[in-house]
Chains A and B, each alone.
Chain A
Amino acid sequence: MRDFVNGILRLRRGPWEMVASGLIALGVVMLMQPFVLWAFTYSFIITLTGTVMFIVVSHFPE
């Protein structure tokens, strides 16, 4: 956990990619869940944020 937080603070690729992947996965789950409409409404913006973040952070140093 400490390594993860350090990686985030020092703008390292691994942990940031993990955050971006998490956002994408969350967005996809929100898009397809059958429970609440508001989660479906906000799913696209979350997936988009995750995807754009993934493209940006994949250029961070290892």
Chain B
Amino acid sequence: MSETVMDRAASATPTKVARRIKGLSDRTIAWIFVAPTVFLLLAVNIFPLIWTIRLSFTNFRANRPNGEVEWIGLRNYQRILTDSDVWLTMQATAHFLFWTIFFQVILGFALAWLINRKFKGNDLWTTIIVFPMMLSPAVVGNFWTFLYQPQIGLFNYVVAFFTGADPASFSMIGEVALAPWAIVIVDTWMWTPFVMLICLAGLRSIPDTIYEAAECDRASKWRQFWTITVPMVLPFLMLAVLFRGIENFKMFDLVVQLTGGGPGNTTTLTSIDLKREAFEKWRTGFSSAYAIILFVTVFGLASIYVKALNKVKER
């Protein structure tokens, strides 16, 4: 009879170890295997979270580790939630979130719909469209600063070509009115392919038989689109929106590289403001409370995301 993997593992186990684990139940052995991961999770995720919650109720400053730490209760939360500057960064984040998701959904769905049609070079076009998503946000931020340069930037020349305006007459990242749109354009350019891929998965999951049945019933293409395509892709689209929503709520690197939060505070998103409070002003207690507020918001959105994901699984 041939030897099984289990037999080989058993014979390879040193006698000393074999003797020691002989009396242990399967459950105990399973716990022994899982324990290092659980320990790492507790040390790297759970402990810092609990510590941050504790710090959020104090006036601790990380640049004065020996200073007296005072328990100030909910004062940090009160300060943040009545601070008009924090409110402004939330509004900048809302502007960024709303418009990036809006454009990414429209363009992502349109691209997926076009790519889903069978034509020559389909795969090549998919690869070309997906290319921006593969780049590092720091790299994207860096080269878009060159594209946005008023004197030498390609973006200004393209706008000038279509509008007839002088390319040097406007600066996308230097003007208060244009800078919020500059970061929206770059994020849309980078992440539309991601939404497209999710929509493409949704479009390809629709069986052809449904369209054939609709053709038999003489349903127009317009009606097929609104009664078959859109409802069946909607859960996928919803997932894409939640994915991008959560990611863009935490957006940091791309915007820092592109505008640094300026001009003024017009593109200072919450994560940039949080980093400034924590590591430039060294208000550790205050920034801990700020981080907890953002964490609860993202956690809440993630809960809705999990619910939506379960609904998609049920289909």
List the A residue with the shortest CB-CB distance to B88: A34
* A37 and B84 form a contact (CB under 8 A): yes
* In the complex, chain B residues 290-307 whose Cβ is within 8 Å of any chain A Cβ: 293, 296-297, 299-301, 303-304, 307
Find B304's partner among A25, A31, A32 (CB 8 Å cutoff): A25
List the A residue with the shortest CB-CB distance to B306: A58
* A50 and B300 form a contact (CB under 8 A): yes
* A27 and B300 form a contact (CB under 8 A): yes
Q: Does any Cβ of A come within 8 Å of B94's Cβ?
A: yes
* A33 and B94 form a contact (CB under 8 A): yes
Residues of chain B touching chain A, judged by Cβ–Cβ distance below 8 Å, are 77, 81-82, 84, 87, 90-91, 93-94, 97, 293, 296-297, 299-301, 303-304, 307
A40-B81, A41-B81 given; A28·B87 CB < 8 A: no
Min C-beta distance of A44 to chain B, whole Å: 5
CA distance A41 to B74 in the complex (A): 13
Chain B residues with CB under 8 A of A41 = 81-82
List the B residue with the shortest CB-CB distance to A38: B82
List the B residue with the shortest CB-CB distance to A50: B300
9 A-B Cβ contacts within 8 A? A24-B301, A24-B303, A31-B297, A33-B94, A44-B293, A47-B296, A51-B299, A55-B303, A58-B303
Find B296's partner among A32, A33, A48 (CB 8 Å cutoff): A48
Residues of chain A touching chain B, judged by Cβ–Cβ distance below 8 Å, are 17, 20-21, 24-25, 27-28, 31-34, 37, 40-44, 47-48, 50-51, 54-55, 58
Chain B residues with CB under 8 A of A48 = 296
Pairs A-B, 4 closest by C-beta atoms = A32-B94, A24-B300, A51-B300, A54-B303
A17-B307, A44-B81, A44-B293 given; A28·B91 CB < 8 A: no
* A51 and B296 form a contact (CB under 8 A): yes
Chain B residues with CB under 8 A of A58 = 303
Find A40's partner among B90, B296, B297 (CB 8 Å cutoff): B90
List the B residue with the shortest CB-CB distance to A21: B304
A27-B300, A44-B77, A51-B300 given; A32·B307 CB < 8 A: no
* A21 and B303 form a contact (CB under 8 A): yes
* B82 and A47 form a contact (CB under 8 A): no
CA distance A42 to B78 in the complex (A): 10
CA distance A25 to B297 in the complex (A): 9
Chain A residues with CB under 8 A of B87 = 37, 40
A41-B82, A44-B77 given; A32·B90 CB < 8 A: yes
Min C-beta distance of B223 to chain A, whole Å: 29
Min C-beta distance of B162 to chain A, whole Å: 31
CA distance A40 to B87 in the complex (A): 7
A21-B307, A34-B91, A44-B296 given; A28·B81 CB < 8 A: no
Chain A residues with CB under 8 A of B299 = 51
A24-B300, A44-B77 given; A32·B91 CB < 8 A: yes
* A51 and B303 form a contact (CB under 8 A): yes
Chain B residues with CB under 8 A of A55 = 303
Min C-beta distance of B140 to chain A, whole Å: 25
A32-B97, A34-B91, A37-B87 given; A43·B300 CB < 8 A: no
A32-B97, A37-B87 given; A24·B304 CB < 8 A: yes
Chain B residues with CB under 8 A of A27 = 297, 300
List the A residue with the shortest CB-CB distance to B295: A51
Find B297's partner among A33, A37, A47 (CB 8 Å cutoff): A47
A24-B303, A28-B300 given; A43·B81 CB < 8 A: yes
